[in-house]
């Protein structure tokens, strides 16, 4: 007989809060979530996704229309342009905020009035799987909770992490160069608060179980308004202990297990995704034993894939892919190449050497990119991320500079992403091939603004209708590729994947569907030179009728060779039975 929800919850809580009455705390959490202590668990190892799933990542106000709330405009754009292409929409923080384009939340239970209302959010959630951020590590210094912290009253008095400049903080891992501890005046005098990201983003104190109870109520509120996918923002930093790195601590992993347990008992097909921009081996730990994240961001993919395409050499990408463990059933990878943030450099640790990293940095800087830094424990500033629009990141090569293969290179990158094990996620500016927005950087003073442009809907529609614009060419071809992907069982996020060995200029892998009714050989020329592949090297079964699913061209001679133009891709497969 399986353990009850309550007993499982108590066991997890005892790891995090060994000195507290965890049975009482469990009752409070279950009450906050509206859950029956004896509730039956959802089926184990259940895949809440299929090959049809494609995610769009966007801000609420990326697409705008005069005299219309941006969330209404976003729904209009989704319905008119992407209804047949995307199944899930990640709307980046749509709450009232004070900085960081939404990630300094002032009120978790409100929708930013300038964006729209909860009714607008619910309208999107009715037609698409809605992914929302749970900005769980920190909150705005202008929030009501933090004002109460200053006043030393509740709720908020003990909701934020306090530090002492005399504490041993030498091991703390930082994603920024700003001060970790910031002094604030309170009714009890000066206090130092912990700020992992910025002075305006004060870290929440999960050592106080009242904070966990508050978030249980917030999660329930989101679920009741249609949120199906929870992105746990910056969750790796959640638990703080001076004298440690304050990242990936055991309490953090247990808290993720607790949140998942509560979420999936409330809504069986809800999904938890951890956002942990860290080296690959560290990132993989957030699967737990299929009891933490349902999905993790594949953070090493963007820098490795971009490096592959600007160097014309897939050695590191291939080595990484061979070392990636298949995700257990009920878990998967979220594949992306670009996002609202920059291209993380920490996920390349152990994958690229320092000279290779610097070459990538130099190349993308020559294409208009910028570099953001973090401060290491020994006080050195190290590159943390590259800030550049993906369209411009792929405008040329490391050796030759900008060239005329930008469109083909850009489409090759997305063709690879669409075929890999996992769920593909498109940042809206990649789907639209938006370039560097240097004017926005100058206006905001923030490097990440380079990839956070805004479109007026009328201009966007005209641009996408213009067959000569590169935006239109990318948009139409990516929609075509998505449609092909969604019809292939071999592209199920958990379908089998093996790496092919076809040299350093051809990046290939094999996918086989869960029921073994379809295989697809995915072969991509990642260089600016013509390449040939001998079909005998792929070992196609001679009794099957093979077709390049991308072009529709049948493969007649299995003993012959295929010539691939620069950045051309092949998906050699047998069409699935109808």
Q: What are phi and psi of 160, to 5 degrees?
A: -125, 150
Contact 497, 420 (CB under 8 A): yes
Domain boundary among 167, 198, 229: 198
Residue 350 included in any domain: no
Average pLDDT over residues 469-498: 98
Average pLDDT over residues 476-503: 97
Q: Residue 262, Cα to own-chain centre: how many angstroms? A: 22
**Res 173: pLDDT:** 93
In this prediction the pTM is 0.96
Please, what sign has the CA dihedral across residues 244, 345, 279, 56?
positive
Which residue is it, tokens 């108590």? Answer: 10
Is 233 annotated for ligand binding?
Answer: yes
Indicate the range of 136-140, 272-276, 555-559 predicted with least confidence.
Answer: 555-559
Enumerate the β-bridge partners of residue 344: 385
Token pair in block for residue 159: 């909701």
**Res 40: pLDDT:** 86
Contact 486, 54 (CB under 8 A): yes
**Quick one: which H or E segment has residue 532?**
strand 531-534
CA 221 to each of CA 27, 117, 118, 238, 331: distance values in angstroms, whole numbers, following the listed order: 18, 14, 11, 21, 25
pLDDT in tens, 391-445: 999 999 999 999 999 999 999 999 999 999 999 999 999 999 999 999 999 999 9
Residue 512 included in any domain: yes
- State which residues form the domain around 163: 144-198
**Res 1: pLDDT:** 47
Domain boundary among 181, 198, 215: 198
Residue 165: CB atoms within 10 A of its CB come to: 10
Domain boundary among 174, 198, 222: 198
Residue 163 included in any domain: yes
**Quick one: which H or E segment has residue 512?**
strand 506-512
d(CA 516, CA 511): 10
d(CA 463, CA 357): 36
Name the DSSP letter for residue 324.
P
- CATH code where residue 520 lies: 2.60.40.1180
| Radius of gyration over every alpha carbon of the chain, rounded to an integer in angstroms | 24
Name the DSSP letter for residue 326.
P
Residue 413 included in any domain: no
**Res 577: pLDDT:** 64
Which listed residue (53, 233, 392, 548) is catalytic?
233
Average pLDDT over residues 293-301: 97
Is 231 annotated for ligand binding?
Answer: yes
CA torsion 485-489-492-496 (nearest 10°) is -120
Residue 97 included in any domain: no
Enumerate the β-bridge partners of residue 571: 522
Q: Which residues lie below 8 Å from residue 8, measured CB to CB, with a gap of 6+?
A: 261
Q: Residue 264: pLDDT above 50?
A: yes
Mean pLDDT of the chain: 96
**Res 406: pLDDT:** 98
Is 36 annotated for ligand binding?
Answer: no
Contacts by residues 352-356 (CB-CB < 8 Å, ≥ 24 positions apart): 352/303, 352/304, 352/307, 352/316, 356/307, 356/316
pLDDT in tens, 211-243: 999 999 999 999 999 999 999 999 999 999 999
Is 340 annotated for ligand binding?
Answer: yes
d(CA 306, CA 178): 29
Enumerate the β-bridge partners of residue 65: 68
Residue 168: CB atoms within 10 A of its CB come to: 10
Q: Which residues lie below 8 Å from residue 264, measured CB to CB, with a gap of 6+?
A: 41, 42, 270, 272
Residue 538 included in any domain: yes
**Res 86: pLDDT:** 98
Is 353 annotated for ligand binding?
Answer: no
**Res 578: pLDDT:** 60
Residue 485 included in any domain: no
Residue 505 included in any domain: yes
d(CA 202, CA 191): 12
Residue 321: CB atoms within 10 A of its CB come to: 21
Is 100 annotated for ligand binding?
Answer: yes
Residue 36: CB atoms within 10 A of its CB come to: 11
Q: What are phi and psi of 166, to 5 degrees?
A: -85, -10
DSSP class per residue in 393-414: HTSEETTTEE-S-HHHHHHHHH
Number of structural domains (the chain) is 2
To the query of whether residue 67 is one of the catalytic residues in this protein, the response is no
pLDDT in tens, 56-74: 999 999 999 999 999 999 9
């Amino acid at each position: 007989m399986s353990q009850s929800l309550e007993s499982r919850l108590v066991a997890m809580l005892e790891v995090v809060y060994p000195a507290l009455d965890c049975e009482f705390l469990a009752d409070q959490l279950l009450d906050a979530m509206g859950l029956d202590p004896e509730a039956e668990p959802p089926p184990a190892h259940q895949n809440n996704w299929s090959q049809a799933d494609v995610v769009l990542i966007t801000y609420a106000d990326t697409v705008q229309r005069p005299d219309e709330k941006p969330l209404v405009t976003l729904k209009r754009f989704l319905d008119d342009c992407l209804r047949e292409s995307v199944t899930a929409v990640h709307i980046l923080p749509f709450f009232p905020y004070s900085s960081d384009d939404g990630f300094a939340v002032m009120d978790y239970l409100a929708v930013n009035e300038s964006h729209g209302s909860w009714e607008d959010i619910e309208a999107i959630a009715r037609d698409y799987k809605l992914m929302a951020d749970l900005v769980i590590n920190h909150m705005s210094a202008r929030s009501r909770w933090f004002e109460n912290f200053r006043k030393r009253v509740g709720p908020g008095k003990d909701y934020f992490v306090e530090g002492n400049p005399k504490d041993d903080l030498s091991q703390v891992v930082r994603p920024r160069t700003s001060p970790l501890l910031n002094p604030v005046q309170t009714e009890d005098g000066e206090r130092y608060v912990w700020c992992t990201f910025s002075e305006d983003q004060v870290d929440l104190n999960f050592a106080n179980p009242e904070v966990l109870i508050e978030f249980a109520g917030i999660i329930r509120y989101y679920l009741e308004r249609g949120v199906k996918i929870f992105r746990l923002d910056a969750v790796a930093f959640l638990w703080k202990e001076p004298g440690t790195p304050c990242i990936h601590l055991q309490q953090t992993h247990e808290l993720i297990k607790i949140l998942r347990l509560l979420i999936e008992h409330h809504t069986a097909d809800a999904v938890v995704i951890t956002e942990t921009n860290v080296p690959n081996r560290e990132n993989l730990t957030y699967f737990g034993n299929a009891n933490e994240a349902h999905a993790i961001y594949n953070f090493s993919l963007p820098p490795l894939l971009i490096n592959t395409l600007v160097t014309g050499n897939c050695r590191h990408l291939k080595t990484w892919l061979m070392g990636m463990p298949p995700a257990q059933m009920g878990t998967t990878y979220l594949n992306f190449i670009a996002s609202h943030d920059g291209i993380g450099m920490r996920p390349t640790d152990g994958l690229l050497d320092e000279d290779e990293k610097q070459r990538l940095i130099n190349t993308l800087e020559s294409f208009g990119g910028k570099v953001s830094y973090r401060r290491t424990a020994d006080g050195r500033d190290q590159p943390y991320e590259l800030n550049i629009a993906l369209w411009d990141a792929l405008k040329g090569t490391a050796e030759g500079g900008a060239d005329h293969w930008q469109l083909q290179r850009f489409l090759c990158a997305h063709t690879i992403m669409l075929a890999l094990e996992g769920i593909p996620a498109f940042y809206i500016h990649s789907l639209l091939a938006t370039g560097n927005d240097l004017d926005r950087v100058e206006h905001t003073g923030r490097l990440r603004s380079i990839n956070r442009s805004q479109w007026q809907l009328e201009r966007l529609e005209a641009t996408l209708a213009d067959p000569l614009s590169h935006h239109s060419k990318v948009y139409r071809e990516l929609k075509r590729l998505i449609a092909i992907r969604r019809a292939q069982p071999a592209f199920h996020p958990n379908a089998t994947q093996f790496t092919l060995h076809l040299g350093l200029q051809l990046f290939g892998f094999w996918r086989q569907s869960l029921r073994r009714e379809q295989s697809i050989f995915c072969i991509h020329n990642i260089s600016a030179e013509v390449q040939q592949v001998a079909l005998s090297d792929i070992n196609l079964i001679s009794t099957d009728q093979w077709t390049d699913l991308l072009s529709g061209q049948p493969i007649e001679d299995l003993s012959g060779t295929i010539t691939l133009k620069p950045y051309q891709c092949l998906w050699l497969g047998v069409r699935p039975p109808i």
